[in-house]
Amino acid sequence: MGDVTTKTWTVTSTMGEVIGVLKQIVEMVTQAGFRKEAVFAVRLALDEALANAVKHGNQNDPSRSVKVEVGIDDAKVTISIEDEGTGFDPVCLPDPTSEENITRPCGRGVMLMKAYMTQVSFNERGNRVTLVKTHNCNLPQD
């Protein structure tokens, strides 16, 4: 196992601020040699996780912060996003593919994260998500 590159940001809970972090992480993942499909997967899942932290976790409150930690090594990238909200129980999320939810314009973020990342986990409180993408992880197929 080679060197690990790590970085931590604590930013104001606004979409403008977290998008800046997203761009930096995507650049780090690209520079680490991930395939373009894997970079797309990381970008998609990270965008969903950051939007959830700002909108749902911190309730669009710019006086709150979002903390983002990234670690990249030869095998994988690990990204953790933590908000200052009360958290949630991911087990209690409605199924976005069920008939009553299929036409809703929201509610698919966690499903997308799980589909595109190698591993997705939440802390017990539900205000921190950790996303892992390995170099050799396949993407979802049609």
Instruction: Please give the radius of gyration of the chain, using alpha carbons only, rounded to the nearest integer.
Output: 15
Task: Tell me how far apart the alpha carbons of residues 104 and 114 are, in angstroms, rounded to a whole number.
Answer: 19
For the chain, list the domains and their CATH numbers: 5-134 (3.30.565.10)
Which regions in the chain score pLDDT beneath 70? 1, 93-94, 96-97, 101-108, 139-142
The tokens for 36 are: 């373009």
The tokens for 103 are: 């036409």
Summarize pLDDT for 3-38 with one digit per residue, the tens. Answer: 889 999 999 999 999 999 999 999 999 999 999 999
Task: Tell me how far apart the alpha carbons of residues 130 and 119 are, in angstroms, rounded to a whole number.
Answer: 8
Instruction: Find tokens 């205000």 and name the residue.
Output: 127
**Separation of first and last alpha carbons in the chain:** 33
Can you give the pTM of this predicted structure?
0.90
Which element (helix H / strand E) includes 19?
helix 15-31
